[in-house]
Chains A and B, each alone.
Chain A
Amino acid sequence: MKLLTHNMLACHIKSVKNGFPFKIEAVRVEEIEADFDPDFLRHIFPRIEYHALREAAETLGAGGLPEQADEASLEDEDFLRAFHHALLEVVLEEGALICPETGRRFPVAKGIPNLLLHEDEC
């Protein structure tokens, strides 16, 4: 799972009001090269919760993102590279996602989070 996806996920347990962001438990992380596409990065930036991305990247051992960023940062090639790397190239292979409100743990295996709910959660 890429951090792009992590940034879009929110816990869907029926009773949960604010299920974003999932905390990450990282057991195995991989770096997988992805095509650098500035158009996509600019397109998606306004939709990214930047602080959640930065925190997730640090959990996965990818630093390099500045504390703050805004649309103007997208003019900066260094920032774009770091943003690209955090968003698309750092991949959680094994671990878990933890709901910030309930602490419910969703395992991640072979890069795929298991987000199936129990009957009493939906």
Chain B
Amino acid sequence: MGRGNRPEHTAPPEVFYSESEARKYTTNSRMMAIQAALTERALELLALPDDGNPRLLLDLGCGSGLSGEELTDRGHMWVGADISPAMLDVAAEREVEGDLLLGDLGQGLPLRAGTFDGAISISAVQWLCNADTRGADPRRRLQRFFQTLYACLTRGARAVLQVYPEGARQATMLTDAAMRAGFSGGLVVDFPHSTRAKKYFLVLMVGSAGALPAAAGADGEEPDDETAEVAVAARRQPRKKRRGIVGALTGSARHPEAKGKGWVLKKKEQARQRGYANIPADTKYTGRKRKSRF
């Protein structure tokens, strides 16, 4: 994603999510569909026990409450936190069932230990990677966020954070910070081969070494519903120069030449160790030159 195209570069979140931006979350049906689709996938990855019992969940960066309403629809109780008063006003207007807190995730969660059954976050946590106020230290803020998140979850609980990391560096920064706080798990990349539909979900687990869930579309198929594609389109990514984790392993803007097989194998191994899921298996085709089809 190019600089200047990311809302995260334009202003701090409490400024970017102004009244007019917040309004879009009640009027723009495309944005509303995106929030619903992303939340649905996050809930799938959250994998709550299938016993029909309602749970107490967190929605981090709950904004206008669209994601929270998906939780309510499934019978869950929730508490949402957000830094934008304008977004929370919209949530209050919508009369969401969940309770709302005005707070900054980077200051840590004001919650008692072992109180929540799970957490979701839709398109919010990448904001913590930016130093948008004087002297803000993103690493320290991420540490505080993940430590307090880890503490407030019950044993065996999960947190599923859908994020828009800016390149591989931020993806690593987020994953590392989560692992250091004690979580197991890692990044699940849905539709990794689709520039339009690619989605990052940080799937974090407390105290269980369960296997990471499978990504959707890892075999190269495209999503069958349109919202998955729209979701990225709405961020107005430039068509050129899109790189994700997979792209970063095969060349970059600074090093466009193809790398040798050894380099690719090393990078893939590093990525696995950093907790990324969906790193393709090493085969005899790894690192080979691809013929251009056109």
Q: Which residues of A contact B (CB under 8 A)?
A: 1-2, 4-5, 7-12, 19-20, 37, 39-40, 43-44, 47, 49, 110-117, 119, 122
Assess whether B92 is interfacial by the CB under 8 Å rule: yes
B167 at the interface (CB under 8 A from A): no
B148 at the interface (CB under 8 A from A): yes
B251: CB under 8 A from chain A? no
Known: A4-B56, A12-B148. 11 other contacts (CB 8 A): A8-B115, A19-B110, A37-B54, A39-B53, A40-B53, A40-B54, A40-B77, A44-B77, A110-B92, A115-B102, A116-B83
From residue A113, how far is it (CB to closest CB) to chain B in Å?
A: 6
List 8 contacting pairs A-B, 8 Å CB cutoff, sorted by A. A4-B99, A5-B101, A8-B79, A12-B148, A39-B54, A43-B54, A112-B100, A113-B101
Q: Which residues of B contact A39 (CB under 8 A)?
A: 53-54
Is B88 positioned at the interface, with any CB of A under 8 Å from its CB?
Answer: yes
| Residue pair B79, A12 in contact (C-beta under 8 Å) | no
The reply to whether A112 and B88 contact each other, CB–CB distance below 8 Å, is yes
On B, residues with C-beta under 8 Å from A are 53-56, 75, 77, 79, 81, 83, 88-89, 92, 99-104, 107-112, 114-116, 135, 144, 148, 152, 154
- Closest residue to B52 on the A side, CB-wise? A39
Contacts of A4 in B (CB 8 A): 56, 77, 99
A115 to B55, CA, bound (A): 24
Q: How far is the CA of A8 from the CA of B89 in the complex (A)?
A: 23
Establish whether residues B99 and A10, one from each chain, have CB atoms under 8 Å apart when the complex forms. Answer: no
Instruction: Report A112 CB to chain B, min CB distance, Å.
Output: 5
Bound-state CA distance A10–B109 (Å) is: 9
List chain A residues, Cβ under 8 A from B115. 8, 47
A8 to B80, CA, bound (A): 13
| Residue contact A2 to B103, C-beta cutoff 8 Å | no
Question: What residues of chain B lie closer than 8 Å to A43, measured between beta carbons?
Answer: 53-55
Task: Tell whether, in the assembled complex, residue B110 and residue A115 are in contact, meaning their CB atoms are under 8 Å apart.
Answer: yes
A122, B144: Cβ atoms closer than 8 Å: yes
Closest B residue, CB atoms, query A118: B107
Chain A residue nearest to B144 (CB atoms) is A122
| A9 pairs with B53, CB closer than 8 A | no
